Amino acid sequence: MDLTSYIAAMSTNMAQYNVQTAVSIGMLKNSMESAEAVNAQLIEMMDSVPMPSSGVGSLLDVRA
């Protein structure tokens, strides 16, 4: 493989990598936007639930 062919092959590989990266970033962005919308709906739904007046069930202990 001569130098010109090597440079052309590298250029093609770099272009393909750039396209793959752009597509991956676009898919990740769509996933993040979708998750953000779902989270906003979940928060809205949680805010719409009335809190009990007696205080029972108003605290939640969570351990990781």
SS3 letters for 1-64? CCHHHHHHHHHHHHHHHHHHHHHHHHHHHHHHHHHHHHHHHHHHHHHHCCCCCCCCCCCCCCCC
State the average pLDDT over residues 36-55: 86
The pLDDT assigned to 30 comes to 97
The one-letter amino acid code at 62 reads: V
* pTM summary value: 0.60
pLDDT score recorded for residue 64:
67
